[in-house]
Amino acid sequence: MSEQAGKNTGLQAIGFPSTGPLHWNLSEAALYEEAVRRAEGVMTADGTLACRTGTHTGRSPNDKFFVKEPSSEQHIHWGSTNRPIDEAQFDLLHRDMAAFAQGKELFVLDAWAGAAQDYRMPVRVVTEFAWHNLFARNMFIPENDQAARDRHQPEFCIIDMPNFKADPAKHGTRSETFIVVHMGKRLVLIGGTNYAGEIKKSVFTILNYTLPLKGVLSMHCSANIGAKGDTALFFGLSGTGKTTLSSDPARQLIGDDEHGWSDTGTFNFEGGCYAKVIKLSKEAEPQIYAASRRFGTILENVVTDPVTRAINFDDGSLTENTRSSYPLRFIDNAVPSGQGGNPANVVMLCADAYGVLPPIARLSPDAAAYHFLSGYTARVAGTEKGVTEPKATFSTCFGAPFLPLAPGVYAKMLTEKIARHSARVWLVNTGWTGGPYGVGSRMKIAYTRAMINAALNGELDAVEYTRHPQLNVDMPTSCPGVPNDVLDPRTTWSDKAAYDAQAGKLAAMFVENFKTFETGVTAAVKDAGPRA
């Protein structure tokens, strides 16, 4: 059987026997040509492909569903994050989506999710748009060997049809937009949104289900390796600096967003990066800046000059959530294998909109468990639809929207691994200082880099620390390359009473949020958190 015939049979097996033109495993250049031919995007002056996503400039978390079916029902942590949809509704959605695809030109990619040979998952991504297929090619690990492609048997298929819109009354969705996961049929259906990030996050959600059941911790974090072979993890939600801070010229990049931690070490889930690039500059983020101006890179909602096609990273008129999608190999010092050892340091990033968290604090193992379960940050403008300015939030394990299992599963695995490998844990605030959002200023990237470098290099091991009375974390009193008054957030506020009140307000929010987890943790973990 020819490759084409075999692949066509593969689409029929998942209920998509398309009668239109099918493009299998196209190269970057070919996908560029198709995207421009179909007016999906424009070529910029730097050779990147600039595309726009229309109404949806971020994820739609309220439109994601899991099919309630026997193979997964007992494992999924049902609730506001993991909403159920019944199999009959899924079948109707699947059937109508397949009918919509008839006669349409489609693009198919065979790839891998996961760099570790023992845990990688073969996936197939079927897209209506050529640029979405290029996005998937950038973000996953494409199978470029012809013989290997002939043997490629996807464990999961992702079907992405932005122009197909659901009927909530008929299909059981909340709106015309949907991301529906069927663990039993190994299918993900995406429609009603042009935002390519839904493809990436769907695969991450699947791995967050399958890997912990195999004893591997799945993590929403970036990772890099130092000159001495020491691996560091950077947890944090979108906009907190995972990509920026892990892309360090002095360290090798494993990956910028999603990783697994097995008994033998850390491995990247992806083959590319999806960097936030609003106000991107060569001086502050040289690696991302260089990668975002290369052929093969997709610029999502980045404004370009209509005549010269020059890129304007400072223009946020379409969204603050402008993105750059590029292969990991575009980072000069990326780790080719996408793998590293067991982490020596774990950094938990947050963007504190209240401006009261210290820029860096050392956490005990119990405090690490507390803050991992809390997952405090601020939703950054544009990351999700309808969010126009930073808003304080708690996202369990720094990735609640993508966690199908109970939060305690991930937290228990993390704390056990931290203890087993004696990893140091740090809480880093990349948000505001000197006052809350609208009054204070965003923490300087140069200071944050200096503090993280000092932590990873062991330079903060011997300095003195002081305990924050309300937030209950240990703050270093000195750090190379950082003014001492920056290290204590209270000193950066002109009105000290206002700071104390704001710190008390945030501490109370932590306490209230953590009531959800109190019955499942030790007293030591509970006591390691802020004090209202």
- Phi (first) and psi of residue 66, to 5 degrees: -110, 135
- Which one is catalytic: 124, 152, 323, 449? 323
The answer to whether the CB of 407 falls within 8 A of the CB of 517 is yes
The answer to whether the CB of 223 falls within 8 A of the CB of 212 is no
Residue 301: CB atoms within 10 A of its CB come to 25
- Phi (first) and psi of residue 510, to 5 degrees: -60, -50
Which residues sit opposite 479 in a β-bridge?
482
β-strand pairing of 106-113 with 64-67: unpaired
- Which one is catalytic: 94, 132, 171, 242? 242
Determine whether 332 is an active site residue: no
Determine whether 238 is an active site residue: yes
- Which one is catalytic: 182, 200, 201, 276? 201
The answer to whether the CB of 292 falls within 8 A of the CB of 332 is no
- Which one is catalytic: 110, 256, 257, 352? 257
Give the dihedral of Cα atoms 8, 14, 15, 18; nearest 10 deg.
-30
Determine whether 220 is an active site residue: yes
Residue 327: CB atoms within 10 A of its CB come to 21
Q: Residue written as tokens 């748009």?
A: 129
* CA 85/CA 101 separation, integer angstroms: 22
H or E segment to which residue 7 belongs: helix 3-13
- Phi (first) and psi of residue 391, to 5 degrees: -140, 130
* CA 292/CA 305 separation, integer angstroms: 16
The three state secondary structure string of 364-401 is: CHHHHHHHHHHCEEEECCCCECCCCCCEEEECHHHCHH
- Which one is catalytic: 18, 127, 238, 377? 238
The conformation of residue 443, written as its DSSP 8-state character, comes to P
Q: How many residues does the chain have?
A: 532
- Which one is catalytic: 94, 171, 200, 220? 220
Determine whether 95 is an active site residue: no
CA distances (Å), origin 392, targets 50, 412, 509, 513: 32, 25, 10, 12
Q: At what angle do helices 407-421 and 365-374 cross, to 10 degrees?
A: 150
- Which one is catalytic: 7, 56, 59, 132? 59
β-strand pairing of 265-268 with 343-350: unpaired
* Catalytic positions: 59, 201, 220, 238, 242-243, 257, 323
